[in-house]
Structure 1
Amino acid sequence: MTNDAQKQHYLKLQQLLMELPWYVDEYITFKKRKLSAASLLNYAHDYKIFFSWLQTNNSHSGHIKDISLDLLETLTVQQVEEFLSYLQYELDNKPVTVNRKLSALKSLFNYLQNIAETRDLKPYLNRNVMAKIEFNDLKESMETIANKMEGKILLGDEYEKFRMFIAHEYGQLNKDNKKLSNFHTLNRERDTAIVSLILGSGLRLSEIVNLDLEDIDTNKYCVRVIRKGNKEQYVFFSKLAMDDLKEYLAIRSSRYHVEANNKALFVSAPMGPKGKSRRLTARAIEKLIEKYATAFGKPSLSVHKLRHSFATRYHAEINDVPKLRRQLGHSSIQTTMIYTHIRNDDLKSAVDRMDIPKDDIE
């Protein structure tokens, strides 16, 4: 599997750390073995927002890089609450996003108080204000979250309808638009394979983007991915996904003029003066899903919602939460439990049939 995406995240992380205080850099280094470059980059972005706010609201006239540990130690609960209000009401962050940013800050402050040590073995911070701050109380139950998700994912026969729409019907729908029709003719095998693989495995967008040819095991119907936390895992996918992948692989090299050293599984049409194909980017995949979803009449569909769709169907078929958790690569089983609350048409039908007298069932 390629490390190109991780390298890009790492380079962006290093650039961002140059703007932040030295102890943030030290903390990020401490976490490198446990978190992916993408996660660490998100942490650094959160810290920049916090330190920029401190600079504006706490009479720090210098660069945010120069904000001292002394300033952190003297922060009051009221000041931190003001920052959290700023996130929610001025930056329009949802309560769950505020909680995520607060979690990042709590982790940093915990490191400064309980893990990091000076040369004379004293903590960097004697007082940790973040330990006094409570998370937002997210009142939505798993069932409420699941119900909201239900209208935005594929259920029942929509799985196959959406796949067939991409493979064939989208082209028919746009046959009078030469540009759209030609573009669909060029990419329909690739796009069908992408959607089929997500719906047949539940892989994340980043995992799909980073796939190389050598990661696909065509005999065992599984794929090698690097999950969150840089953990290697072999993830199974459906036979239908394998069939669609084989159709795409049969035309990949010739249609996209792929050079021998390009090992990316999913590639773009040749671009640039030299006409080279490149690894398909995350944004390109997001846009193609958005395009098909809108034309299909379900504009709320996204790559992540396709992953949710897989998880819902898997649970309906297998009803094994630990196995689903492993398949999705969730670190917490609580996240996986959401799918046990989604009402699937297949499940509803089965329950409804329980009320029918046995003599009436053909």
Structure 2
Amino acid sequence: MTNQSQQIYKKLQILLKDLPWYVEEYINHKKRKLSAASLLNYAHDYKIFFNWLIDEEVFNGKITEVPLELLESLTVQQAEGFLSYLQYQLNNKEITVNRKLSALKSLFNYLQNIAETRDLKPYLQRNVMAKIEFNEIKDSMETIANKIEGKILIGDEYEKFRQFIAYDYGLQIKENKKLYNFHLLNRERDTAIVSLILGSGLRLSEVVNLNLDDIDYSKYTARVIRKGNKEQFVYFSKLAMDDLQEYLSIRESKYQVDKSNKALFIAAAMGPKGKPRRLTARSIEKLIEKYAAAFGKPSLSVHKLRHSFATRYHNEINDVPKLRRQLGHSSIQTTMIYTHIRNDDLRHAVDKMDLPKDEA
């Protein structure tokens, strides 16, 4: 287990102390199947739900005291009321409401169909969440694809953005010595991070958790732990390997990192007594935001770089099952979105409709 996962599990254990006993039992049941981050998200969702029960006076007492009998007696109207609260008071998008509902459905299903008392009876006889339907997401795949397309790197922008981080950004901020020196320290690392995501489609958490020995330098693969704690070796591009090798050549000298520190991407020590440490997810998000804004494409994010890779992969290889495996999607429907981005053949066919017959 990585240090990051251990930290997440610690946060999870603290959060579980504020939730009913059967939630902790459910989380323990799911530990083999879900990542630490997913379990922590589930626990946060449950806390919102139980807080709502108390705020609405469905239950008077502490969250830890909410009995199974209360869950069993919840009405459909009350469950729908919670979803309305998420959407209209917390301003959650429909897809976020669906995610929180999915978490509740999973918990209630466990309580009704998996968990059992000593006399072999289910914890719940009645499951109100089984009666609640998910929000129908109004956007079609084409609409989602169109929204993504305007926010990702297309065509020669891949290399332009990479070159911008490696060289042009430094020229842009050269007059500010503090910023310029900070960039000189981190440009090989930052270029390698962006190049790796653009050359593999790795998730942010997967990049953060990479260790030195996770990279296979002969096969151009990175060992990652995907959702559901599944180990996978993910291919990345030769260009990403070149940038990674350049970063590794200066990693120890620039960051003064001890050989016992196996984290691939390092943050410099803070202060005279600080030690080099693993670069955090938020730090990577912030550095992408910084470069994206200076590049003139502020909508770029780590996830948009992943979208950029997937779009390029599909355009060049057009193999959805392979792309699904590369991205680690559990559902092929998620991967199918990329078949709707930059469909140049379709656009060309439509354009030809307006041409005279002898030009078409």
Give unpaired runs (5+ residues) of structure 1: none
Contact 1:155 1:345 in 2 (8 A): no
Deviations 1:118-163 (A, max 9, x none): 1111111111111111111111111110000000100001000000
- Could you say if the C-alpha distance between residues 159 and 78 of structure 1 is closer, same or farther in structure 2, counting changes exceeding 3 Å? same
Q: Alpha-carbon deviation of 1:62?
A: 1.4
Partner of 2:292: 293
Deviates more, 1:101-110 or 1:57-66: 57-66
Partner of 2:336: 337
Structure 2 CA distance for aligned equivalents of residues 216 and 261 of structure 1 = 17
- Could you say if the C-alpha distance between residues 298 and 176 of structure 1 is closer, same or farther in structure 2, counting changes exceeding 3 Å? same
Partner of 1:49: 48
- Could you say if the C-alpha distance between residues 21 and 40 of structure 1 is closer, same or farther in structure 2, counting changes exceeding 3 Å? same
Q: Please give the secondary structure, in 1, of the residue aligned with 2:277.
A: coil
Deviations 1:62-90 (A, max 9, x none): 11000001111111111111111110011
1:87 corresponds to 2:83? no
Amino acid of the structure 2 residue aligned with 1:308: H
Q: Alpha-carbon deviation of 1:58?
A: 2.8
Contact 1:316 1:346 in 2 (8 A): no
1:127 corresponds to 2:126? yes
Mapping of 1:209-220 within 5 angstroms? 209-220=208-219
1:247 corresponds to 2:271? no
Partner of 1:278: 277
Contact 1:55 1:64 in 2 (8 A): yes
Contact 1:156 1:346 in 2 (8 A): no
Q: Alpha-carbon deviation of 1:61?
A: 2.4
Amino acid of the structure 1 residue aligned with 2:270: M
Structure 2 CA distance for aligned equivalents of residues 312 and 223 of structure 1 = 20
Provide the TM-score with structure 1 as the length reference.
0.95
Q: Alpha-carbon deviation of 1:275?
A: 4.1
Amino acid of the structure 1 residue aligned with 2:283: A
Partner of 2:266: 267
1:233 corresponds to 2:229? no
Deviations 1:298-346 (A, max 9, x none): 0010000000000000000000000000100111111100000001669
Q: Alpha-carbon deviation of 1:219?
A: 1.2
Structure 1 CA distance for aligned equivalents of residues 86 and 350 of structure 2 = 45
Partner of 1:192: 191
- Could you say if the C-alpha distance between residues 74 and 101 of structure 1 is closer, same or farther in structure 2, counting changes exceeding 3 Å? same
Deviations 1:25-69 (A, max 9, x none): 111111111111110111000000000000111342211000001
1:35 corresponds to 2:34? yes
Provide the TM-score with structure 2 as the length reference.
0.95
Structure 1 CA distance for aligned equivalents of residues 352 and 158 of structure 2 = 23
- Could you say if the C-alpha distance between residues 310 and 3 of structure 1 is closer, same or farther in structure 2, counting changes exceeding 3 Å? same
Q: Alpha-carbon deviation of 1:351?
A: 9.3
Partner of 2:167: 168
Give unpaired runs (5+ residues) of structure 2: none
Structure 1 CA distance for aligned equivalents of residues 215 and 350 of structure 2 = 38
Q: Please give the secondary structure, in 2, of the residue aligned with 1:116.
A: coil
Partner of 1:158: 157
Contact 1:156 1:344 in 2 (8 A): no
Structure 1 CA distance for aligned equivalents of residues 350 and 157 of structure 2 = 20
Q: Please give the secondary structure, in 1, of the residue aligned with 2:233.
A: strand
Deviates more, 1:191-200 or 1:55-64: 55-64
Mapping of 1:86-105 within 5 angstroms? 86-105=85-104
Structure 1 CA distance for aligned equivalents of residues 344 and 153 of structure 2 = 11
Structure 1 vs Structure 2 CA RMSD: 2.1
Partner of 1:313: 312
Structure 1 CA distance for aligned equivalents of residues 25 and 215 of structure 2 = 38
Q: Please give the secondary structure, in 1, of the residue aligned with 2:299.
A: coil
Partner of 1:136: 135
Deviations 1:244-296 (A, max 9, x none): 11111111100110111111111011223334211111000000000000000
Moved over 3 A (4+): 344-356
Q: Please give the secondary structure, in 2, of the residue aligned with 1:153.
A: coil
Q: Please give the secondary structure, in 1, of the residue aligned with 2:166.
A: helix
- Could you say if the C-alpha distance between residues 124 and 156 of structure 1 is closer, same or farther in structure 2, counting changes exceeding 3 Å? same
Deviations 1:218-250 (A, max 9, x none): 111111111111111111100000111111111
Identity of aligned residues (%): 78
